[in-house]
Amino acid sequence: MAASSSTAIDAPPGGWAHSFVKRLRAGDEIAYLLTFICAASVVAITALLVWELYINSYEARVKFGWSFLWTTTWDPVNGQFGALPFVYGTLVTSGLAMLIGIPLGVGAAIFLAELAPPRISSALTFLIELLAAVPSVIFGLLGIFILVPALRTAEPALRAVLGWTPLFQGAFYGVSLFSAGVVLAVMIIPFIISISREVILAVPGDQREGALALGATRWETTWDVVVPFARKGIAGSIFLALARSLGETMAVTMVVGNETKIHASLFAPGYSIAAVLANEFVEATGPLHLSALTELGLVLFALTIVINGAARILVASTSGKGMS
């Protein structure tokens, strides 16, 4: 036994065949096979999804090429389709959501992880994580009946403060890019808070203790030592929230105004990729319209993949240790 070659695998007692049958009877092979198939099915489904998106957008891709991405016309009557109004709306509403959501979310995460007493922190975190579970159609419901009328009354104030920028000019109808941005902000804040909080909590205690020992205030410790340590993870949480807001459909389509034009003002109605897919997909007139919509789906898919990918890398690189 001990003298046999170190590179050859010893045959188990009874031989290979016997061992295989024994493992088969024990269910090992079946277990492996079943679980393998299930795991592989995910790959198969995703491949099929990408394939369907690619194949069904063929006509539009061939007809418009890359210019699809920067054409602004969306004209089903004349067969002219361009993605820009929807890409613009998607980016603007998500951008606004980030602008509002990041300070609020990171601020709250810092408070919950560093500054608040532990009992209050867990209770509030619990509540905030529940907010992440609220279905999107309910945000849309509240958006239509509470937020939009509220924004209509708040509009003169907003205009007084910000009306000098082109971003806040023009008529305001309630349903607008701005309203969609605000709704999205509320929806993604819990994600930013939840992940950022975890990441900040994971910063090693000795970093904090060192700073405090040097006489830093709580805030200074947090802001100048802990947060920079965790910054990649926080960035990751922001990217994740961004990815979510890009694909958000129901809440957006209920408050964005559904207009296929680009306006500079946030007060104007707009559209997003997900919203136009929801409205037009099942009634697209003709194969070109349908394939243009599918191409939009492909664009959205690509966008979310890239951003999700970046997010995962950032969060993973700070899980546990956090050295930049």
CB 233, min distance to another protein, A? 16
CB 128, min distance to another protein, A? 5
User: What is the spatial distance between Cα 239 and Cα 310, in angstroms, rounded to a whole number?
Assistant: 7
CB 79, min distance to another protein, A? 11
If you search the block for the tokens 């910063």, which residue do you land on? 203
Q: What are the DSSP calls for 76-122, one per residue? A: TTTTEE-SHHHHHHHHHHHHHHHHHHHHHHHHHHHIIIIIS-HHHHH
CB 259, min distance to another protein, A? 6
CB 6, min distance to another protein, A? 23
Beta-carbon contacts of residue 79 (< 8 Å; ≥ 6 apart): 286, 288, 289
CB 164, min distance to another protein, A? 20
* Cβ-count burial 74-86 (b if 16+ within 10 Å, e if not): bebeeeebbbbbb
Do residues 66 and 57 make contact, with C-beta atoms less than 8 angstroms apart? no
- The smaller minimum CB distance to another protein, of residues 5 and 146, is found at 146
CB atoms within 10 A of CB 298: 19
User: What is the spatial distance between Cα 104 and Cα 188, in angstroms, rounded to a whole number?
Assistant: 11
- The smaller minimum CB distance to another protein, of residues 138 and 161, is found at 138
CB 5, min distance to another protein, A? 26
- The smaller minimum CB distance to another protein, of residues 200 and 324, is found at 200
Beta-carbon contacts of residue 205 (< 8 Å; ≥ 6 apart): none
User: What is the spatial distance between Cα 261 and Cα 268, in angstroms, rounded to a whole number?
Assistant: 9
- The smaller minimum CB distance to another protein, of residues 35 and 165, is found at 35
Helix-strand-coil percent breakdown of the chain, rounded to 5?
75, 0, 25
- The smaller minimum CB distance to another protein, of residues 4 and 107, is found at 107
- The smaller minimum CB distance to another protein, of residues 76 and 95, is found at 76
User: What is the spatial distance between Cα 142 and Cα 222, in angstroms, rounded to a whole number?
Assistant: 35
- The smaller minimum CB distance to another protein, of residues 3 and 57, is found at 57
